[in-house]
């Protein structure tokens, strides 16, 4: 799938919403489903290859990973996921084999609060490490020659190491509401959702729920952590931590002391899968309750 493929998806979606022909709608829906499956497979392949490189990067302050054949249409998504998982600014670069000196790479980056990635990319371009590049504090794009990639990655790490250290030291999770486990109900989720819509600059409310104990924790799908937790008030609920099974938090929740109480923080959502509607928590972080 290329950029044209994504435009094609959008066009198919518009046709699906506007067609009056039931058979055409079914055909378009099937095609959209197939394209989405292909896109997810591409994303997963690039993410797995990128994360394998991350594990070999040691204590670098900025994650820079690259690969030939990586689809440029998904590198921004993968950069955002790795940034969330590592807590570090991340650049994912799709390399090609064309051109002199081993070819060029198109990269996409995502940063953390307090680290101006765009300014650093512009600085690297002005110093000749990049063919092109720009962006803003939280996101950036670049073009780099293969033979300059290692020098660029080292320069970027040196440039941002101090900022990353200070930003990580000052990180805190902002909460909008704290409730006991029995308070996590569909009615609460609906009330919170009524204040939306949420998005960039207006994030959805983050709820802390606890204290709870983990009753069950297992890995599902692509690195997702699913838990059942129970509070001292007798209420239990499902909690999901997406793409977090291999993180420090995920491993602690899976293998830690399940008799120990903790607080979970995240976004409250409605779970419609069971025989009755229930509230669940999409977890951003967890902390021991003393």
71 and 187 both lie in a single domain: no
- Give the tens place of pLDDT for each residue, 157-205: 999 999 998 888 776 778 899 999 999 999 999 999 998 888 656 778 9
Kindly state whether residue 148 falls inside one of the protein's structural domains: yes
pLDDT of the residue at 77: 92
103 and 84 both lie in a single domain: yes
Phi, psi of 269 (to 5 degrees): -135, 165
DSSP annotation of 222: T
Give the other-Cβ count within 10 Å of 58's Cβ.
Answer: 6
Output the domain CATH number for residue 81: 3.10.310.30
- Give the tens place of pLDDT for each residue, 32-44: 778 778 778 888 8
What's this model's pTM, rounded to 2 decimal places? 0.63
How much is the CA Rg of the chain, to the nearest whole Å? 22
H-type helices in 87-148, by residue range?
A: 117-126
- Give the tens place of pLDDT for each residue, 211-251: 999 999 999 987 899 999 999 999 999 999 988 888 889 99
Q: Show the domain range for 161.
A: 44-169
Distance between CA atoms of 19 and 169, rounded to whole angstroms? 54
């Amino acid at each position: 799938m290329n950029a044209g493929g994504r435009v094609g998806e959008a066009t198919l979606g518009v046709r699906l919403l506007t067609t009056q022909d039931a058979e055409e709608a079914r055909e378009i829906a099937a095609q959209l489903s197939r394209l989405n499956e292909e896109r997810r497979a591409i994303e997963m392949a690039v993410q797995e290859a990128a994360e394998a490189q991350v594990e070999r990067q040691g204590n670098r302050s900025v994650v820079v990973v690259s690969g030939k054949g990586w689809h440029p249409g998904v590198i921004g998504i993968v950069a955002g996921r790795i940034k969330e998982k590592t807590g570090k600014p991340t650049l994912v670069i799709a390399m090609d084999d064309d051109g002199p000196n081993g070819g060029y790479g198109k990269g996409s980056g995502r940063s953390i609060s307090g680290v101006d990635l765009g300014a650093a990319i512009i600085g690297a371009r002005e110093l000749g490490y990049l063919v092109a590049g720009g962006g803003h504090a939280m996101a950036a794009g670049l073009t780099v020659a293969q033979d300059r990639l290692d020098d660029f990655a080292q320069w970027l790490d040196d440039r941002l190491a101090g900022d990353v250290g200070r930003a990580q030291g000052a990180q805190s999770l902002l909460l909008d509401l704290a409730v006991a486990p029995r308070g996590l109900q569909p009615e609460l989720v609906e009330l919170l959702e009524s204040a939306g819509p949420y998005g960039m600059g207006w994030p959805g409310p983050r709820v802390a729920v606890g204290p709870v104990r983990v009753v069950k924790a297992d890995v599902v799908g692509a690195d997702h952590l699913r838990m059942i937790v129970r509070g001292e008030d007798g209420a239990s609920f499902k909690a999901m931590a997406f793409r977090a099974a291999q993180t420090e938090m995920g491993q602690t929740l899976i293998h830690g002391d399940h008799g120990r109480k903790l607080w979970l923080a995240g976004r409250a959502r409605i779970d419609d899968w069971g025989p009755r509607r229930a509230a669940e928590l999409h977890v951003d972080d967890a902390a021991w309750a003393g």
